[in-house]
Structure 1
């Protein structure tokens, strides 16, 4: 019996226009009425979850910033900010890579040191609360994640530059144009474990969906781990199952209907 459903957003639950499928609202309501716990696990900030899922806030575990921050019903369940001493080197590494832009992600706001329109266009899709600062290395606020926008394609271009941090930080691909850096103990899989422990739910009772490399650890903590049909090959390999439909066809919802209501 499935007692917990957790889904990624971009490339998974959301379509390519970053829209929530209309069927989702009815399915989510039915899950909650059945007593099934529901979680949103994303690289996006907490603000983006509250903005897009207002009707359900108070009933959904909001796992943001690749597992660095968990909120439930306005209560902070977990927070794992980056060590301040690492931020200086991370930002300076990004500055040295052509056509990349570092973004520091706080609990309530994202910080940029560039006003380039191409950066603003990409960031505002995920976070409306932004601040332009003169020097990111002088920021004193807690930082949950550093994201790097790489216009040349993150996997081949910027990602290799951050491997020198991989022995002490979690460096992953958050999308085709994004590199994400968090604490090593901050990822969606660890966040999922926290929610399972709080609710005394096992991996055998968990259904999880993902599509990109920042979902990798989450696939390992759910018996019913589903890679999207459109997922990165490494996620398809890591998951136990693959959806029959992609994110533009609401593949997540078909699986939930089949496993949670028709089983």
Structure 2
């Protein structure tokens, strides 16, 4: 019996136009009425999750910034900001990567230091709460995650500049053009395990969905781990199952229907 469902957003639950499938709302209501816990685990910030799921936020576990924070019914269960002394070095590394734009992800706002229209257009697809500052190393705020937007390709172009940090920080390719840096103990897998412990739920009672490398640890936290049909190759390898349909065909919802509501 599934007691916990956790899904990634972009490339997973959401269609390529970043919209929540209309069928999701009825399925979420049925899960809640059945007593199944529902979590959204995303690289997005909490305020972006709120914009998409405002009507059910009091019921959701919102896992934001790749597991750096969990909020449930307006209560922060935990947050894991990056150490302040690492932020300057990370920003400098991002600046040295050609075509890579660093973004500091705070709890309530994102910070950028470039007004390039390509950067602004791209982040506006995901969030509205961002601020352009002169120098990211001078930002006085808790930073849950540093994201690098690289339109040349995050894995090929920007990732090599951050390999030096892998002994002490989590460096994850979050999408074709996104590279995410968090604490090593801040990932979606740790967040799912925290929800399991909080609610007395086992991996055998847990269903998760993801598509990219920031979902890697989460795939290991559940017996029913589903990679999307459209997933990155390494996620297809680590997941126990693969959806029959991709994100644009509502593959997540078909699996939930089959596993959570079967008679």
Which residue pairs with 1:111 in the alignment?
Answer: 111
Cα separation, 1, equivalents of 2:73 and 2:198: 14
Please give the alpha-carbon distance, in whole angstroms, between the structure 1 residues aligned to 2:134 and 2:222: 43
Tell me the SS of whatever aligns to 2:148.
Answer: strand
> Secondary structure of the residue that 2:6 maps to in structure 1?
strand
Aligned length: 263
State the SS of the aligned residue for 1:105.
Answer: strand
Corresponding position: 1:234 with 2:234? yes
For 1:250-261, what aligned pairs fall within 5 Å after superposition?
250-261=250-261
**Any idea what SS the aligned residue of 1:158 has?**
helix
Distance 1:125 1:41 in 2: 18
Look up the match of 1:57. 57
Could you tell me how far 1:193 is from its partner in structure 2?
0.7
Hey, what's the Cα distance between the residues in 1 that align with 2:9 and 2:63? 11
Match of 2:92 in 1: 92
1:245 matched to 2:249? The reply is no
CA–CA distance in 2 between the matches of 1:127 and 1:70? 18
**Superposition misfits of 4+ residues, deviation over 3 angstroms:** none
1:54 deviates by: 1.0
1:70-149 matches, within 5 Å, as 70-149=70-149
* Unaligned residue ranges in structure 2 (runs of 5+): none
Q: Does 1:38 align with 2:42?
A: no
State the secondary structure of the residue aligned to 2:225: strand
Secondary structure of the residue aligned to 1:218 is: helix
Structure 1 unmatched runs, 5+: none
Residue 126 of structure 1: how far off its partner (Å): 1.5
SS across alignment from 2:229: coil
Aligned to 1:171: 171
Deviation at 1:239, TM superposition (A): 0.3
Distance in 2 (CA, whole Å) between partners of 1:226 and 1:133 is 40
Give the alignment's Cα RMSD to 1 decimal. Answer: 0.6
Give the distance between the partners of 2:125 and 2:82, measured in 1 at CA: 23
Return the alpha-carbon distance in structure 2 between the equivalents of residues 255 and 218 of structure 1.
17
Report the counterpart of residue 225 of structure 2 in structure 1: 225
Partners of 1:196 and 1:122 in 2: CA distance: 34
Give the distance between the partners of 1:9 and 1:36, measured in 2 at CA: 19
Name the SS of the counterpart of 1:144 in structure 2. strand
2:223 and 2:78 map into 1 onto residues whose CA distance is 24
What is the DSSP-based 3-state SS (H/G/I as helix, E as strand, rest coil) of the residue aligned with 1:25? helix
Query: What are the Cα deviations for residues 189-247 of structure 1, in whole angstroms up to 9, with x where unaligned?
Result: 00111111110111110000000000000000000000000000100001000000000
Post-superposition offset of 1:151: 1.1
Q: Does the CA contact (< 8 Å) of 1:45 and 1:126 recur in 2?
A: no
**How much does 1:75 deviate?**
0.2
Q: Distance in 2 between matches of 1:75 and 1:254?
A: 31
Structure 1 residue 161, shift from structure 2 partner: 1.1
Instruction: Find the aligned partners of 1:247 and 1:151 in 2 and give their Cα distance.
Output: 22
Preserved CA contact (<8 Å) 1:155 1:173: yes
Does the alignment pair 1:200 with 2:200? yes
